[in-house]
Structure 1
Amino acid sequence: MPACDSCGTDVDEGATFCPNCGEPQDPNTRRKVIIGRVSYAFGFLLIVAGISLLPGNLGGVPIILGGIQLFPPSRQLLGRVFGRPPKVWANAVFSLVFVLIGVVLYFLL
């Protein structure tokens, strides 16, 4: 039995997470967890930035939508509509388009 890299607990061969500390054991799972956490962080930052623009300008609305788009559950919802979730880079580009529209609206209004 291999040991967990984080806490040293014995982990089954097929386990994807440590039963003791919850640390991902598969490199692909680790990558997905990190991408998910980074997506949430940037999404929250964009939402806060969009909300701070809202009282005086409507350019914050697309920025908020771009932040919501970065959340992994939003990506899964798009997968239900289109048959499969968009790739991570495509989701980021889609969010960036919303943010750019918001920035343009901010400077035009």
Structure 2
Amino acid sequence: MKTCPRCDLSLDDEARYCVECGAPQTEDAAEELDEYVQRQAQQVAAEPGNAGAGNSGNGGTDGGSGFVPTEDLTDREQLWRRGCYVFGYGTIVVALTLVPQVGAFLLILGGIAILPPIRRLTAEPLGSPLKREVMAGLYVLFALLGVLLLLL
């Protein structure tokens, strides 16, 4: 009898996998497991919901995991993301200079609402990421209310 190198369970000499932990016991079994894992990874990557393609109406910018490398985004999506960062952080910086005033807090909320990471953070509790139009609408709403409060 041999023992599993991972969990030290006693196994039959012909066993290809450990019945306790599933570790391959022969080179052939290890190669078979590697091929299976590679096939599964290719199938997962080829599914429509992965690799930034066709995800819940967001233009493919955020997948189920929330992260899409920048080089996988189209030029339009990269421009949108960069613009959101510029407007979001710009609004926050301006609002921080006006902090004692009431309208500054709405400007800060507007700046935060348009930042791309907020889409990923809201995806889990809401079930899907907010659409870009919704985020832009929230930004405009908070910014207008903040400016109105600053002017009054």
TM range (shorter): 0.5 to 0.7
The answer to whether the aligner puts 1:71 opposite 2:115 as a matched pair is: yes
Contiguous gaps of at least 5 residues in structure 1: 1-15, 17-21
Partner residue, 1:54: 99
TM-score between the two structures when normalised by the length of structure 1: 0.67
Distance in 2 between residues matched to 1:23 and 1:46, nearest whole Å: 23
Q: Helix, strand or coil: the match of 1:50?
A: helix
Q: Tell me the CA shift for residue 32 of structure 1.
A: 1.9
User: Percent same amino acid at aligned positions?
Assistant: 36
Task: Give the conservation status (yes or no) of the 8 Å contact 2:106–2:142.
Answer: yes
Q: Evaluate the alpha carbon distance shift between residue 83 and residue 106 of structure 1 in structure 2; reply closer, same or farther with a 3 A threshold.
A: same
Map of 1:38 onto structure 2: 83
Using the size of structure 2 for normalisation, the TM-score is: 0.50
Number of matched pairs: 85
Larger Cα-atom Rg: 2
The higher-RCO structure (CA 8 Å, 6+ apart) is 1
Instruction: Give the structure with the higher percent helix.
Output: 1
Unaligned runs of 5+ in 2: 1-51, 53-68
Which 4+ stretches in 1 moved above 3 angstroms?
none
